[in-house]
């Protein structure tokens, strides 16, 4: 059985900023409706609850599962969105919190926690040795 690790990630900086701005727009709409009506309404509560749900999903549903042979990225609404065989990864560049790699000519950038980057680097080295 393959060793399997799951980590949380955020996409590249541009995508992350756009996604979080759209999420914050839901909160801002709820606050604007609340302030325009001058007292708290159920519609404001719905927008704020929707914001909390979207924020939770933005953080908890973006995962990558790494096995010795592949990386499987999941997004908010799509499970197993992107599957990358480790043998196809070219030029991995690790910084403190970022992994940038080239896969089939496409440059992919992901942000992880510091410990996750160390584990991913270790697993990618092991995968390269086994090939």
Domains in the chain, please, with CATH? 1-131 (2.30.29.30)
Record the pTM. 0.78
List, for residues 86-106, the tens digit of each pLDDT value. Answer: 888 888 999 999 999 999 889
Would you state the pLDDT for residue 4? 85
Q: Over 90: is that where the pLDDT of 127 sits?
A: no
Write out the DSSP string of 93-107.
Answer: EE-SSEEEEEETTEE
Which DSSP category does 5 fall into? E
CA–chain centroid gap for 95, Å, is: 17
pLDDT-derived band at 115 (thresholds 50, 70, 90) equals very high
Collapse the DSSP code of 57 into the 3-class scheme (helix H, G, I; strand E, B; otherwise coil) and give the result.
Answer: helix
> 89: which 2 tokens?
């990864």
Query: Which residue spans within the chain are E strands per DSSP?
Result: 5-8, 63-66, 70-74, 82-85, 89-94, 98-103, 106-111
- How far apart (Å, rounded) are the C-alpha atoms in residues 27 and 51? 5
Q: What is the mean pLDDT of residues 115-130?
A: 80
Q: Over 50: is that where the pLDDT of 71 sits?
A: yes
List, for residues 50-60, the tens digit of each pLDDT value. Answer: 999 999 998 88
Q: Over 90: is that where the pLDDT of 46 sits?
A: yes
């Amino acid at each position: 059985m393959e060793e399997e690790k799951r980590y949380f990630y955020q996409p590249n900086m541009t995508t992350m900023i756009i996604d979080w701005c759209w999420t914050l727009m839901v909160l801002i709409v709820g606050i604007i409706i609340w302030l325009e009506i001058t007292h708290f309404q159920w519609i404001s509560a719905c927008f704020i609850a929707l914001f909390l749900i979207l924020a939770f999903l933005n953080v908890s549903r973006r995962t990558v599962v790494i096995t010795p042979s592949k990386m499987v990225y999941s997004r908010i609404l799509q499970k197993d969105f992107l599957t990358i065989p480790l043998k196809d990864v070219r030029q991995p560049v690790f910084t403190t919190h970022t992994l940038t790699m080239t896969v089939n000519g496409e440059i992919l950038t992901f942000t992880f926690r510091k410990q996750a980057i160390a584990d991913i680097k270790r697993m990618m080295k092991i995968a390269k040795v086994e090939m």
